[in-house]
Structure 1
Amino acid sequence: MKHLEDLLLLGDPRLYENCDPVLESELSMVSGWVADLHNVMEEIRAKYQFGRGIAAPQLGIMKRLIYLNVDRPQVIINPDYVSVSDETDELWDDCMSFPNLLVRVRRHRSLTLTYRDEHWQPHTWNVTDWAMSELIQHEFDHLNGVLCTMRAVDQQAFRWRPTPSEIEK
């Protein structure tokens, strides 16, 4: 089982690599990878009070696999964009691989995604919810070796995340 100390941190060269597709013959390995992703996400949530999604390469699993847990756990295998909206918006993005840093980025307001689930069933997802759209784009970027630091809107688009105790004040 992987833990928080297994999470790749900003500067690790593996975070900048393009991931390989998950093969159908590797499907039996997906449940173990997902358990690791879930465990590390729960440890991040406990320590930093954030975390809605994590991509496999953040744990050194160089496969096109995303684990989301917003309202329910969701496994996204080999995602691909069908389309993205022309309309964009900016937000302060965060990342488990650099949990104390926020980065101002621009993301598409909506998108359509194709992917396979953990049972290898194909899906097409029209994502119109802004929060979900930006989350998917963040995690999708990880699969292509792109970090939100590389999408900063300008050179002043970085700030430290307040600690939970600072937020309570």
Structure 2
Amino acid sequence: MKGLADIILLGDERLYQTCESLSFQDDALIQEMVTDLHRALFQFREIYQAGRAIAAPQLGYMKRLIYMNIDGKATVFINPELVFLSDKMFELWDDCMSLPNLLVRVKRHQTIHIRYQDQDWNFHTDILEGDLSELLQHEYDHLNGVLCTMRAIDEKSFRWKPTANPPK
């Protein structure tokens, strides 16, 4: 059973590795990962009041799976592929559970098409725009060993998150 305490933090070499695809034989592992990713995401939310999705490698599962939960609706992306990236880009301050108090200024594609399988192995292609596009690009990067720190616009694109109760 994994949770918040098991989230791998910046500097751990596993965050820079490319993940392996999943297959039908991995059904039990997929259920274990989804349970653990859900637990870690909700524990993270309790402490940081943030978090919409998490990638399997952030808990040490070096597999191509993303778990997203927005407004109580969970989506599991198995073996996702970005099949379209718009030319139009936008800038934002990105955050990450693996570097929980750091923001990184990055550029992301405004629109993406993502192809994936669900837990019943059905294929889907979703078109995502804006913040959901950014979110899935961020999580997809984790599957390829890419962190938002590696996508920083420049050397001044880092800042600490403001805290509700700053130290005195």
TM-score (norm. length: structure 2): 0.96
Shift of 1:4: 1.3
1:111 aligns with 2:107: no
Take 2:27 and 2:121, find their aligned partners in 1: how far apart are those partners?
8
SS at match of 1:31: helix
Matched residue, 2:14: 14
Instruction: Tell me the amino acid that sits aligned with residue 76 of structure 2.
Output: V
Cα displacement string for residues 84-130 of structure 1 (whole angstroms, at most 9, x for unaligned residues): 10000000000000100000000000011110001111101111x30
Matched residue, 2:51: 51
**Which has a greater percent of strand?**
2
Matched residue, 1:87: 88
Matched residue, 1:99: 100
Cα displacement string for residues 11-66 of structure 1 (whole angstroms, at most 9, x for unaligned residues): 00000000000112112321111010010011110111100000000000000000
* Structure 2 gap segments, 5+ residues each: none
1:138 aligns with 2:101: no
CA RMSD of aligned residues (A): 0.9
Contact 1:55 1:142 in 2 (8 A): yes
Matched residue, 1:78: 79
Instruction: Tell me the amino acid that sits aligned with residue 152 of structure 1.
Output: A
SS at match of 1:164: coil
1:159 aligns with 2:141: no
Q: Percent identity?
A: 54
1:150 aligns with 2:150: yes
Shift of 1:148: 0.1
Shift of 1:3: 1.8
Shift of 1:165: 2.9
Count matched residues: 165
TM-score (norm. length: structure 1): 0.95
